[in-house]
């Protein structure tokens, strides 16, 4: 049997990749004024951290060559706030998923009441907490 973390990764990773490899999120971030894909990438991905310095982003992202993050952070925050970058990334990702999934992307969650969303999150939290982040389960 496939480990739980591996199964979850296999199911969720294609959705996650839409954020990085679809035109809509990139276009939404460029519409904010970012010069190129990489400006939008670093702004969109680091937005949840707020206006942190390049050293923090580099440490968290961990896989970029020395100085690569600093070519984009903090300059991207002069173009658009982290909040604006996050909103653009989300709107672009939703548009891409709706394009890719067509009728399968019926806005079922668009009409959820806040209490229903809270219940959905509460149901998913113990599942997420039980997963081994390195995929060894």
What is the C-alpha to C-alpha distance for residues 51 and 31, in angstroms, rounded to an integer? 20
In a domain, 54, yes or no: yes
From the centroid of its chain, how far is CA 89? 7
pLDDT for the residue numbered 92 = 95
Q: H helices within 47-81, ranges in order?
A: 54-61, 75-79
What is the C-alpha to C-alpha distance for residues 65 and 76, in angstroms, rounded to an integer? 18
In a domain, 23, yes or no: yes
- Per-residue pLDDT 10s for the chain (137 aa) are 778 778 878 888 888 899 999 999 999 999 999 999 999 999 999 999 999 999 999 999 989 999 999 999 999 999 999 999 999 999 999 899 889 888 776 665 566 677 776 777 777 777 777 665 554 44
pLDDT for the residue numbered 31 = 98
In a domain, 137, yes or no: no
pLDDT for the residue numbered 136 = 43
In a domain, 79, yes or no: yes
In a domain, 11, yes or no: yes
What pTM was computed for the model? 0.75
In a domain, 50, yes or no: yes
Residue 94's alpha-carbon distances to 18, 80, 87, in angstroms, are 9, 20, 11
In a domain, 12, yes or no: yes
pLDDT for the residue numbered 37 = 95
Cβ neighbours of residue 83 under 8 Å, at least 6 residues apart?
47
In a domain, 38, yes or no: yes
The one-character DSSP state at 65 is P
* Tally of structural domains, the chain: 1
pLDDT for the residue numbered 60 = 95
Domain containing 63: what range?
Answer: 4-106
């Amino acid at each position: 049997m496939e480990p739980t973390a591996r199964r979850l990764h296999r199911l969720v990773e294609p959705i996650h990749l839409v954020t990085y490899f679809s035109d809509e999120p990139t276009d939404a971030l460029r519409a904010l004024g970012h010069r190129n894909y990489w400006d939008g990438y670093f702004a969109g991905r680091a937005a949840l951290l707020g206006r942190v310095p390049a050293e923090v982003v580099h440490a968290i992202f961990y896989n970029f060559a020395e100085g690569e993050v600093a070519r984009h952070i903090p300059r991207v925050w002069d173009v658009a706030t982290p909040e604006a970058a996050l909103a653009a990334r989300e709107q672009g990702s939703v548009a891409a998923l709706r394009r890719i999934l067509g009728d399968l992307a019926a806005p079922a969650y668009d009409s959820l009441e806040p209490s229903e969303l809270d219940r959905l999150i509460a149901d998913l939290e113990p599942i997420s907490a039980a997963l081994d982040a390195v995929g060894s389960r």
